[in-house]
Chains A and B, each alone.
Chain A
Amino acid sequence: MTKPGTVLLLSTYPIVKPQHGGQVRLLNIKRAYERAGWKVASLAVYTEESYSNEVGSFDIPFPATSKYRLFNGRNVPLITDLLSGPFAAAEDGGLPSILAQIPAQIDVIHVEQPWLWPLAVELKKRPQYASAITVYGSQNIEEPLKRSIFEDYNVGGADEVLRAIEALERNAARDADLTLAVTQDDAAVLEKWGADKVALQPNGIEAWHADDKALAKWREKLPKFPWLLYVASAHPPNFTRFSEILGDSLACFPPTSRLVVVGSVTEHIYRVMNSTRWSHLNLSRLQLLFTLSDEDLAAVKSLAHGFILPIPFGGGSNLKTAEALYSGSYVVGTPAAFRGYEDCMDLPEVRVADNPKSFQRSIREVLFQPSPPPLEPGSQALARRQDLRWEARMDRLPPLVEKLMQRGAP
């Protein structure tokens, strides 16, 4: 067996204090490598306006004033991820700083999402890194996702950008020694693009435990009647079609209940629902908690009667889906929300709704169902949920990489 070496993780977000799904996944990848005995250097090329605090020692900012913030001389919104690659790989961009601080010896370059693939290519040109194995961690098929986001934000004339994104993804898939996909559908696309070795590496969850004090505190603050929870980040697909998926109305919640919203999506949900025709009704059914500490979030998740997953599109799979499924509570979600967790759609507490009426009906129905019974130790139901944990899912990764090294790739 090959001895574990050093892995360089490349991303466009720091993972010191993970908030959104991409950060959480990457942190768990890092932990999996570390558990397997690898040394891990994590380097994020981050937008300084988004992540000013809580950055790691290798992380470098992508300045708001950089000339690389323009796409072919044009200012195109919502593509700093795409632009961070050319910045990181450029001599007059981030490359000198990056070369100055990354380890001299790197065995594996793991690029999470395709954005920093140009940097990986640039590093591989250096003799000291030329033999490093490249791993492309695909979280989504990015081009259609970006296309949907552009449509939602009315960003026109961006075909060139979309072509650039697809080209980047294709290059990463084709040239990487190992490509990771989060769903079977994504894996099929990546293989079609010429990826040699594609491994399915679905998202997982961090098991949580709520302490009694936090539970008591939140029991006081939350509705006494069954209520549902929506936990999400401010990633556009989490809110741009939220109202549409719920039929523009939260009347499916009784006046005694609430849709409790947690995470950085909160302010967006308020804005979206406040601009609906039924704003007065909709706001009366919301309880907004914004971003919570881990302790508070654990308590709120433990007390929820159920979760909603109003995810309209996007490749990849959602961490919040895994969390909702793991909870054992009711889950009402769109078909897109269960991407990567198709094997869990038959669970008795899961409701899949492919249109607004069905979504509303499912909410009404689960709110009047008794809480699902606790999962019995040793039961198959519990085992299926244990398999959703990050440890169970990510510990499969290091052996794959070690196997490649053994074979002497590239």
Chain B
Amino acid sequence: MNKIWLDVTSILGWSRPAVGIIRVEAECAKFALGHLDSRVEFCRFDQREGYVRVDPSEVRQTLDRIGRSHQPDQQTSVSLPIASVAPGSSSTVRLATFVRSVLQWLPQIMRSPLHRYLAERREAARAAANGLRELRRAVRAWRKPLAHMTQLTSSPVVKELGLPFSRGDVYVSLGLDWDQKNQTYIAEKKYSENFKTLLCCYDVIPVKYPHLCVGDVSAKFARYFADIAWCADEIVCISECSRRDLLALLRELGAPTPPTTVIRLGSDLPKADPEDVRSATKDAAGDRFILFVSTIERRKNHETLYRAYTRLLDQGETNLPKLVFVGMPGWGVTDFLADLRFDVRVARLIQVLTNVSDNDLMWLYENALFTAFPSIYEGWGLAVAESLANGKFCLASKAASIPEVGGDLIEYLDPWDVPKWAERLKWYFDHPEELNRIEELIRTQYVAPTWEDTAKTVLGRAEALLDQQRREMHSGVDAIMPTTEIGRYEEPAPKSAAAIR
């Protein structure tokens, strides 16, 4: 019997709370475990070994570990959680991981100051590492001027690695594939072994807005998307916007356009247990607050909320609710975080919470006046969905996929229009009865997609590919060719996904 192979490489190497992509892989794995029959198997990819079967018990342990991984002691501080090093990670990442591992062994009294000392010098360390790297490159280029082309003189040699898939199987990968997988290997094996592949596109932001991402990722991700276009029999996209962006990119690149399906990510989280909510969370939020749940990075545009708040303060507003940011600081926000630290106007008004447990997060959603989401661009907009799932209104950016999430139930603004954000925030602060009315609408009209639905849709698409493969094999079609009509440029009609509500 042919099988569905669910790749769990990303969650196996993860030890922080499951967010974003990790959550999708974890939820699909969880669903597969709960509904495990002989048709679903798990696998991981290793650059040296290739694909290796993973026992379901190992997947269970991994999901348990991730579920227990938040670090409440470090809440409200900028923490550096330990992540395992993915194969092929850069030397900088490996060094950082090593330093964190070493710090873990030190007593708390030494760890915290040393941790702070190193964290403050992260930029300096990065610059020094880049300097050394450039120097090494210069020396090499000086000694062998054409060496940079040497790697281009050989053919794509793919080492013979492990592959447990059989002819007719379906391989599903939803993880951090651009870092962890080898698409050339998948493409080669797919044609020689004749299995089908279901891959995922979360967004094409690194290509579309590279300036909002770390380093020069545009070129790297363009290759990744072109490669998966050649590997995939179907690509699931997490929004219509992502699907449109992906197809537009593939057309621009001249890559094939495989069939695509839009899936909706789950936004269900268990109810908060008020007894378990930590006092630090309650104290930070206070009695009256609005909430913005997101990694703190340039693209998420925390700055608009900060500026809207300072604008209201400068206009003489005195009774503003607290603004609570929940999320880890990411790239490109050093100056912004410094503003928050030094701007006395918002010193007690804006709170940053990191490493918040699911229970605390639910409590924050349940007790917030409403939520805000001024992101510049999104592949989906999970925080908007979670806000609605918790019955809360969201004042959101109108960019990209976000209106797909909230439909007509919430209000959308231009993410850059700070005066408008200030005006509408103030209006909602002053009209709690309107918030109550909208919350009632949300309760009656919004049906929160569950993670189980997401997993069902994904595995349903895999089942469909399995059937397709079976039909092709029975009809004698040896489908070593891409499923996609490779000469086609027309945008394919979107497939209806049964689970989309």
Q: Is B20 an interface residue (CB 8 A)?
A: no
Q: How far is the CA of A11 from the CA of B219 in the complex (A)?
A: 45
> By the criterion CB–CB under 8 Å, are B155 and A278 in contact?
no
A332-366 residues with Cβ-Cβ distance < 8 A to B are 356-357, 360-365
Q: How far is the CA of A70 from the CA of B219 in the complex (A)?
A: 43
Interface string of B181-193 (1 = CB under 8 A from A): 0011001100100
Q: How far is the CA of A363 from the CA of B155 in the complex (A)?
A: 18
B-side interface residues, number (CB < 8 Å): 33
Q: How far is the CA of A393 from the CA of B152 in the complex (A)?
A: 38
Q: Which residues of chain A are within 8 angstroms of B161 by Cβ–Cβ distance? A: none
Q: How far is the CA of A225 from the CA of B184 in the complex (A)?
A: 11
Q: How far is the CA of A257 from the CA of B482 in the complex (A)?
A: 14
> By the criterion CB–CB under 8 Å, are A368 and B481 in contact?
yes
Cβ-defined partner of A364 (8 Å) among B155, B227, B256: B256
> By the criterion CB–CB under 8 Å, are A279 and B156 in contact?
no
> By the criterion CB–CB under 8 Å, are A287 and B152 in contact?
yes
Q: Is A284 an interface residue (CB 8 A)?
A: yes
B133-185 residues with Cβ-Cβ distance < 8 A to A are 149, 152-156, 158, 183-184
Q: Which residues of chain B are within 8 angstroms of A284 by Cβ–Cβ distance? A: 223
Q: Which residues of chain B are within 8 angstroms of A357 by Cβ–Cβ distance? A: 254, 489
B243-287 residues with Cβ-Cβ distance < 8 A to A are 250, 252-256
Q: Is A256 an interface residue (CB 8 A)?
A: yes
Q: Is A38 an interface residue (CB 8 A)?
A: no
Q: Is A36 an interface residue (CB 8 A)?
A: no
> By the criterion CB–CB under 8 Å, are B486 and A365 in contact?
yes
Q: Is A113 an interface residue (CB 8 A)?
A: no
> By the criterion CB–CB under 8 Å, are A278 and B153 in contact?
no
| Min distance, Cβ B205 to any Cβ of chain A, angstroms | 16
Complex A-B: 5 CB contacts under 8 Å = A251-B253, A256-B187, A278-B253, A288-B152, A288-B153
> By the criterion CB–CB under 8 Å, are A251 and B226 in contact?
yes
Q: Which residues of chain A are within 8 angstroms of B156 by Cβ–Cβ distance? A: 223, 255-258
> Contacts A278-B219, A365-B487 given: A251-B255 contact, CB under 8 Å?
yes
Q: Which residues of chain B are within 8 angstroms of A252 by Cβ–Cβ distance? A: 254-255
Q: Which residues of chain A are within 8 angstroms of B325 by Cβ–Cβ distance? A: none
Q: Which residues of chain B are within 8 angstroms of A222 by Cβ–Cβ distance? A: 155
Q: Which of A221, A222, A280, A360 has the most CB of B within 10 A?
A: A280
> Contacts A249-B252, A278-B219, A360-B254 given: A254-B187 contact, CB under 8 Å?
yes
Q: How far is the CA of A365 from the CA of B487 in the complex (A)?
A: 6
Interface string of B215-226 (1 = CB under 8 A from A): 000111011001
> By the criterion CB–CB under 8 Å, are A255 and B153 in contact?
no
Q: Which residues of chain B are within 8 angstroms of A225 by Cβ–Cβ distance? A: 188, 191
Q: Which residues of chain A are within 8 angstroms of B191 by Cβ–Cβ distance? A: 225, 256
> By the criterion CB–CB under 8 Å, are A258 and B153 in contact?
no
> By the criterion CB–CB under 8 Å, are B188 and A278 in contact?
no
Cβ-defined partner of B254 (8 Å) among A249, A255, A256, A277: A249
A-side interface residues, number (CB < 8 Å): 41
Cβ-defined partner of A255 (8 Å) among B183, B218, B219, B487: B183
Cβ-defined partner of B154 (8 Å) among A280, A287, A362: A287
Q: Which residues of chain A are within 8 angstroms of B154 by Cβ–Cβ distance? A: 221, 287
Q: Is A247 an interface residue (CB 8 A)?
A: yes
Cβ-defined partner of B218 (8 Å) among A270, A277, A356, A363: A277
> By the criterion CB–CB under 8 Å, are B184 and A255 in contact?
yes
Q: Is B29 an interface residue (CB 8 A)?
A: no
Q: Is A161 an interface residue (CB 8 A)?
A: no
Q: Is B230 an interface residue (CB 8 A)?
A: yes
Q: Is A281 an interface residue (CB 8 A)?
A: yes
Q: Is A322 an interface residue (CB 8 A)?
A: no
> By the criterion CB–CB under 8 Å, are B187 and A364 in contact?
no
> By the criterion CB–CB under 8 Å, are B230 and A255 in contact?
yes
A251-B255, A287-B155 known; 20 new pairs, CB 8 Å cut-off, are A247-B254, A249-B226, A251-B222, A255-B183, A255-B226, A256-B156, A256-B188, A256-B230, A270-B149, A278-B219, A279-B219, A281-B219, A281-B223, A281-B253, A286-B152, A287-B153, A290-B153, A357-B254, A360-B254, A361-B254
- Across the two chains, which residue of chain A brings its CB closest to B226? A251
Q: How far is the CA of A224 from the CA of B154 in the complex (A)?
A: 12
Q: How far is the CA of A257 from the CA of B183 in the complex (A)?
A: 12
> By the criterion CB–CB under 8 Å, are A258 and B155 in contact?
yes
Q: Which residues of chain A are within 8 angstroms of B153 by Cβ–Cβ distance? A: 287-290
> By the criterion CB–CB under 8 Å, are B253 and A249 in contact?
yes
Q: How far is the CA of A223 from the CA of B254 in the complex (A)?
A: 21
Q: How far is the CA of A364 from the CA of B485 in the complex (A)?
A: 10
Q: How far is the CA of A251 from the CA of B207 in the complex (A)?
A: 14
Q: Is B229 an interface residue (CB 8 A)?
A: yes
Q: Which residues of chain B are within 8 angstroms of A223 by Cβ–Cβ distance? A: 155-156
| Min distance, Cβ B20 to any Cβ of chain A, angstroms | 24
Q: How far is the CA of A382 from the CA of B481 in the complex (A)?
A: 30
In the A-B complex, the 6 residue pairs with the closest CB atoms: A360-B254, A280-B219, A251-B226, A251-B253, A281-B223, A251-B255
Q: Is A283 an interface residue (CB 8 A)?
A: yes
Q: How far is the CA of A53 from the CA of B85 in the complex (A)?
A: 54
Q: How far is the CA of A277 from the CA of B208 in the complex (A)?
A: 12
Interface string of A266-304 (1 = CB under 8 A from B): 010010000001111101101111100000000000000
Q: Which residues of chain A are within 8 angstroms of B227 by Cβ–Cβ distance? A: 255
> Contacts A225-B191, A255-B183 given: A364-B223 contact, CB under 8 Å?
no
Q: How far is the CA of A227 from the CA of B255 in the complex (A)?
A: 16
Q: How far is the CA of A224 from the CA of B219 in the complex (A)?
A: 26
A359-379 residues with Cβ-Cβ distance < 8 A to B are 360-365, 367-368
B193-252 residues with Cβ-Cβ distance < 8 A to A are 218-220, 222-223, 226-227, 229-231, 250, 252
